[in-house]
Amino acid sequence: MTQSHDTPHSDVERALRGASLRVTAPRVATLEAVGRHPHADTETIIRAVREHVPTVSHQAVYDSLHALTEADLVRRIQPHGLVARYESRVGDNHHHLVCRSCDLIVDVACVHGEAPCMAPADPHGFAIDEAELIFWGLCPDCQAQASLPGPPAS
């Protein structure tokens, strides 16, 4: 029985080969996990990978995330005070909204489009090609939770 070339794995395998990476089970499972769990931390990705490759080691997933990030197939973000997160949305100029209460991270399109969308007053001779912008606040669920009356004072 031949495998269809239109399986979800085939897109991932093509992406890996296109980035000159060897196609391995941990890399395929890791790239798929990042796609299924946007803005996930490493532990979440490891659990998701183990659903498909139960014997995979932590180190194999860490190595896969590093290789995928270096190949620009995955983007690593780390908002201040949070652990690193990974997303498969690469190649565009987008930013993030982060909830100060629950740590939810949401993609937000850049209104300016091309990178860099901001410029410093004095670039000090740097050739700037990217600006990272993170908006902080409370997500709608946390806003609703904050507006609920608390227990009566005793």
Looking at the fold, whether 18 and 65 belong to one and the same domain comes out as: yes
For residue 140, pLDDT beyond 80: yes
Residue 85: inside a domain, yes or no?
no
**Its pTM surpasses 0.75:** yes
33: CATH: 1.10.10.10
Mapping DSSP onto H, E and C, the string for the chain reads CCCCCCCHHHHHHHHHHHCCCCCCHHHHHHHHHHHHCCCEEHHHHHHHHHHHCCCCCHHHHHHHHHHHHHCCCCEEECCCCCCCEEECCCCCCEEEEEECCCCCEEEEECCCCCCCCCCCCCCCCCCCCCCCCEEEECCHHHHHHHHCCCCCCC
Same domain assignment for residues 69 and 107: no
Question: For 91-119, what is each residue's pLDDT tens digit?
Answer: 888 889 999 999 999 999 877 766 676 77
Q: Are residues 72 and 99 in the same domain?
A: no
CATH number for the domain harbouring residue 123: 3.30.1490.190
Residue 152 lies in a domain: no
At 4, the pLDDT band (50, 70, 90 cuts) reads: very low
Q: Which of 77, 101, 132 finishes a domain?
A: 77
Residue-number span of the structural domain to which 132 is assigned: 92-147
Residue 33 lies in a domain: yes
Q: Looking at the structure, do residues 13 and 73 belong to the same domain, yes or no? A: yes
